[in-house]
A and B are shown apart, each in its own frame.
Chain A
Amino acid sequence: MSRTDLSLMMLVSALLLGFGMPTARATTTYIVGTCKPGTQFSTIQSALNATPAPTVVEVCPGSYPEQITISKPVTLEGVVAGNSSFATVVVPPGGLTNNTTLASGLAAAAQILVQNAGGAVNLTNLVVDETNGSANYAVGILYRNTPGTMNHMVAFNVSGETAGFGIYLEGGSSDPKVTIENSTISDDQIGISVAGISGGNLTTAINTSLVNSGIIGIQVASPNTTTTINGNVITGFTQTAIILEATEGSVTNNTITGQVSPTQTAIELGYDGMSIESNKIYNVGDGIYATTEIINSQITGNVFTTLSAEGITTDCGFAVPSSKVHSNTFVDVGIAYVTKSGFPISSSTFIGVPVEWTTCPQ
């Protein structure tokens, strides 16, 4: 073997080793519980805090009384073992303590706090159950300035003395993108809250989830948020299914069904910009209630069935462009459109509607 050949082999070996090390780091997996072999921990937080930092934490079925903070990239997932897939984070015996301050300046207790991780934090197949939690502002899962995906998550029974949020998302300087999909957000005061901050953008996708929460299903605030809400089932709310106070994003293909109360509103549009298209809205008081001039928002292709009050009500101070609000279907709705005078209704469909269009109260 020549000296050149030897050098080449050493170089290749070094390269392989070099590649091998990051690969090894990429698969540092810890187990919480005893259902699987591996490096085991008894709590989720202790696994997250271990050295080297894990890239994957697999959580055995069981109940984990913890308040968890995640500040590094990681994938945290519940696993199916034996005859169960139920990994639940519950309130610790001493109750919840405030562990963060929301962008609004309010102190809050988050059961799972994900902040400034510097990379993606992915959560899968976990239940966050805040039954018996006590806090002024309670949060099930809080993401701050961190990208990631929450898939098949459950945020259950989050209720604060002032407010409780199943999932609460804040942006940050890293311009994170957060996805919530296939999840169950149930029995919380407010299901999902998307809160923008001035220091960075937040892009959020909320897809194919069940939001079954007490007062408000989903609320989206400005500034600097882009939110898409698609294919969800939203029910169980007493006030409003979706509140939109942002300018970027869309609400599409959702099913919203109320619970008899005529005071319920399906979607409140507070800012111009987000589009509301192809949703199915059943059994509420008001369908879409806009309190802003509509210039960019598109409200089309929605179907409203059995509404005791009004289908689409727009801000009385502004004319509604027919190029932006059209092609909606109203079945069994008290009044289909309430707008400033002169709005054309010919492009929509009305069935069993006593009043298809009326002008705003002046």
Chain B
Amino acid sequence: MSRILSKLMFVLAVMSAALSFGAAELHATTTYIVGTCKAGTQFSSIQAALDAAPSPNVVEVCPGTYPEQITIINAVSIEALSIMNSSYVLITVPSGGLTTNTTINRGQTSAAAHLFVKNATVNLTGLTVDSTGSNVPTGAALVGVLYQHSPGTINHVIAFHQISGQSTGYGIYMEGGSSNPTVTVENCGVYDFDFGGIYVTGPNGPTDIAGPAARENVTGQITAKVTNNFVNTTAAPGTISMLFGSSTVDTVAGNLSAGADRGATGMNIDANAGSTFSDNTIINSTVGITLLADGPSVTGNKLYNDGNNGPGAIAEYANLTTSKITGNLIQNAQSDGINLDCNTVGTLVNSNTFEYMTQGFLNAPSGFSGSGTYIATSQDVVPCH
């Protein structure tokens, strides 16, 4: 009998556990619909769905135009639906423009974030953010999608027309902090901005981009994976396609930065050791890749048509003990391939291919022995003067 009782209690325990899991699962699938294309609890705006109680775990958005400035403070996945011959979920600026809703850059710059994610785990899929008509106040930044201290995945999101008129517009901007969030940005498109395309910064902001500074956190304050994105740069001088600031640890691969004119920098890198930048393609930039700090590796990238009036297809501004710059193809550069700026690099810069340019290496330090393949290069190595 006691055996039977034991078995019965075990079964009851299992059933109870199953019910508990079931309840948790039920909670995990609180789904709201924005629009009327699908049955369920429907809302007319994305923000209304996010603010509803109970808080949703998933918000599915019907194709349509949503003039909203959105703030997300709870964990959620927002997904565009492909239905009725369309998958176009367009988030536009509400009448009256965007208002400032946070600060970035060490709290020094007020910002109007069109889609603002704050202290929450959030996944975004398939959304298009058009910030045309943002009308941000003087001195403020404009951000299409801002993740602040928030982990999550941004997949197949398009951000465009982040033009503040003050050279302070960013497409997708991620700012870390002591929680060291992990953010993935993949398969996204960013274009038509007047300052930055994709930005990853630590809590001290991109102003530390001038190199390692006292404010920099060597342990990293955000971990970013940025893969297979497309950033279309503008002609405006000083714009930056992608920036990876101090106190960040980044895996950046398979991205394409291209544009009509050589106005923008392709990648500005001040990231921490352990960061890797590989297999990216950068076309028509003033500088393809700028490396400002020792630590990250720059390998296997392809750089075409870069360097017009700039310091090089790759500009290397730090003495290197860790970083590797290897296996990159630099083709049809407008001036020089890799500008070492007289820094000591040992043998960490090697096995790059230079095809059709005036100088392969510029400002190579004394005794520089990095190997390279030179094709149609007027001067393979120009020493530091």
Contact = CB atoms under 8 A, between A and B. Distances in A.
11 contacts: A83-B381, A88-B376, A125-B376, A233-B283, A233-B302, A235-B258, A235-B284, A236-B305, A306-B158, A306-B189, A352-B156
Interface string A342-362: 000000001111111100000
A331 B376 contact: no
Contact of B379 (A83, A305, A332, A351): A83
A259 B156 CA distance: 22
Interface in B202-242: 230, 232
A154 B187 contact: no
Contact of B87 (A61, A152, A356): A356
Interface of B: 63, 80, 82, 85-89, 126-128, 156, 158, 187, 189, 191, 230, 232, 256, 258-260, 281, 283-284, 302, 304-305, 331-332, 355-356, 374-381
B376 A127 contact: yes
Given A85-B374, A86-B376, 19 more contacts: A78-B376, A84-B377, A85-B376, A88-B376, A152-B376, A156-B356, A184-B376, A186-B305, A210-B331, A235-B283, A257-B258, A257-B283, A282-B232, A283-B191, A305-B189, A306-B158, A332-B128, A351-B87, A353-B88
Interface string A69-96: 0000000001010011111100000000
Contacts of B380: 80, 83-85
Given A350-B87, A352-B158, A356-B85, A127 B283 contact: no
Give the most central of B89, B189, B376: most A CB within 10 Å: B376
B131 to A, nearest CB: 15
A304 B108 CA distance: 39
Contacts of A332: 128, 158, 189
A259 B187 contact: no
B283 A126 contact: no
A29 interface: no
A154 B378 CA distance: 13
A356 B82 contact: yes
A356 B376 contact: no
Contacts of B281: 233, 255
A305 B230 contact: yes
A260 interface: yes
Contacts of A322: none
A331 B189 contact: yes
Interface in A223-255: 233, 235-236, 255
A134 interface: no
Q: Which of A61, A127, A184 has the most CB of B within 10 A?
A: A184
Contact of B332 (A61, A182, A210, A357): A210
Contact of B126 (A85, A351, A354): A351
A212 interface: yes
Say whether chain A's binding surface is mostly helix, strand, loop, or mixed. Answer: strand
Interface in A2-53: none
Contacts of A306: 158, 189, 191, 230, 232
Interface in A256-299: 257, 259-260, 280, 282-283
Contacts of A357: 85
Contacts of B232: 260, 282-283, 306
A154 B376 contact: yes
Nearest to A236: B305
Nearest 10 pairs of A and B residues by beta carbon: A259-B260, A354-B88, A350-B87, A85-B374, A86-B378, A351-B156, A257-B258, A152-B375, A352-B128, A332-B158
B78 to A, nearest CB: 14
Contact of A350 (B82, B302, B375, B379): B82
Interface string A96-121: 00000000000000000000000000
Contacts of B191: 283, 306
A341 to B, nearest CB: 13
Contacts of A283: 191, 230, 232, 258
A310 B130 CA distance: 20
Contacts of A182: 355
A165 to B, nearest CB: 18
Contacts of B86: 350, 353-356
Contacts of B378: 61, 84, 86
